[in-house]
Amino acid sequence: MVAEATTLLTFDYPPMSGGIARFCESLVNELRLHRPGVNVLTHQTLQGTTSATRDPTRIEVVHARPLREASALARLILQQLTGRTGILVCGNWYPEGVIAWMSGFRPFVVLAHGAEIFPAPRGGLPVSFWRTVMNRVLTGASLVVANSEYTRALVSQHSPACNSVALPLAVDTRKFSPGVPSHSRKRLGLDDDCFVMTTVARLDSHKGHLDVMRAARSLLQQGHSSFCYVISGTGPEESSLREHSRQWGLEQHVRFLGQISDETLVHLYRASDVTLLCSHELARERKVEGFGLVLLESQSCGTPAIAYQSGGMTDAVVHGTGGWTVPAGNVGQLSELLATLVQDSSLVRQQGALARSRVEEECTWTGYTERFLELTDRYRHDY
């Protein structure tokens, strides 16, 4: 029997940028390889509706808020009245999950990413109100699919009665694949004999760029000068990071790339000896790394990763099997690890090979999608 349609409701979807948008696009593409009738309900692009013309399975509502939410709500109600139900996957609990809950559409599934589970005041309404709403949405969902064990625990903490499961993220192993490091370094203007460490993240205070720079300063003080710290991303902390690189004598060792294309991103991973993500958990500021997809992308390219033991990053990096984890905020241990790696290229290569092997065995989109469908198919005919 042909399965009923699947609709993904998300306002984080290309051409929008960001990790959630990229994840939602990949999920849709993979689901379409397994099932017919996968649609996306999202808002119009700022350029108009040409994307809908190209893709008839992309259902668009107006971009402006709050008409966007009202239009999506109306479409879900209409979809039920015309008998076209199936299963609804919400890209986030707010506003997508709230819309699904209000529409009465059942069954619906909510994707949980991490930081959004920390409620915040919106529209002049207090945190207590939104905590209640979130609890109603999460318990009303047939299933909450979290991107890591950390995020699942966070969901359960805020909504104990909800049905949640951890399904760590996947990566496109064809796109993010090993290459020839020297070719990628030449493309990026990096020296072949330089130890290259990279962070791909928004330049925000909790992302830990300063901790890596402190470790880099320690390398310099120990006499290790042939290294380069490449930072890819934009954000409010850029000027502060540049100023610290000057004050700490790292100007010749720190390179800011800004926002880069996906093609350049792959070359950056291939050119790097190690990728780092040293994010801190700042619950009061609603800042945490729910998983750390860039760590998985790097390992898929055969480049080992270093992550703090914070948030869900320990699901993305397995210590000693393609990378290393360090206690959050322990710059001394991070410095010691980098000093070891700078002097031991064979260890870096060994962990790079283990990283690619683990990703191919455990973190492919095929495996993720099969598990996702196994979990969600249980609820398709419950209503």
Express each pLDDT in 224-278 by its tens digit: 999 999 999 999 999 999 999 999 999 999 999 999 999 999 999 999 999 999 9
pLDDT confidence of residue 57: 84
- For 3-32, write each residue's pLDDT tens digit: 468 999 999 998 887 788 889 999 999 999
Vertex 315: Cα angle to 313 and 320 (nearest 5): 90
According to CATH, where is 3.40.50.2000 located in the chain?
Answer: 6-170+364-379, 181-362
Q: What is the pLDDT of residue 383?
A: 53
CATH topology of domain 6-170+364-379: Rossmann fold (3.40.50)
Evaluate whether 292 touches 314 at the Cβ level (below 8 Å).
no
Amino acid at 19: G
CATH superfamily for domain 181-362: Glycogen Phosphorylase B; (3.40.50.2000)
Per DSSP bridges, beta strands 305-308 and 323-326 are parallel
Does residue 337 have a pLDDT over 60?
A: yes
The number of helices, as runs of H, and strands, as runs of E, in the chain is 15, 13
In the chain, pLDDT over 70 holds for what percent of residues? 96
Distance CA 94, CA 177 (A): 34
pTM: 0.90
What SS3 class is residue 331?
helix
Is residue 47's pLDDT more than 60? no
The pLDDT value given to residue 1: 34
Give me the phi and psi of 154, to 5 degrees please.
Answer: -65, -45
- Strand 38-43, strand 6-9: pairing: parallel
